[in-house]
Amino acid sequence: MFTFTSNILKNFLSQRATRRYPFETRSPFDGARGMLLNHIEKCNLCSICAVKCPSQCITVDRKASTWECDPFACVYCGICVDACPESALYQKPEYRQVAEKREMISLKGEIKKKVKKETDNGIESE
* Interacting residues toward ligand SF4 by CB under 6 A: 36, 38, 43-49, 53-55, 57-58, 60, 67, 69, 74-80, 84, 86, 88-89
Phi first, then psi, for residue 116 (nearest 5°) are -90, 135
Q: What is the CA radius of gyration of the chain?
A: 23
Tell me how far, at minimum, the Cβ of 123 lies from ligand SF4, in Å. Answer: 25
CA atoms in the 13 A half-sphere facing the CB of 54: 5
> Which lies closer to ligand SF4 via its Cβ, residue 33 or residue 122?
33
Tell me how far, at minimum, the Cβ of 3 lies from ligand SF4, in Å. Answer: 43
> Which lies closer to ligand SF4 via its Cβ, residue 16 or residue 34?
34
In this structure, the chain runs to a length of 126
> Which lies closer to ligand SF4 via its Cβ, residue 6 or residue 56?
56
Exposed/middle/buried for residue 115 (C-beta within 10 Å: 0-12, 13-18, 19+): exposed
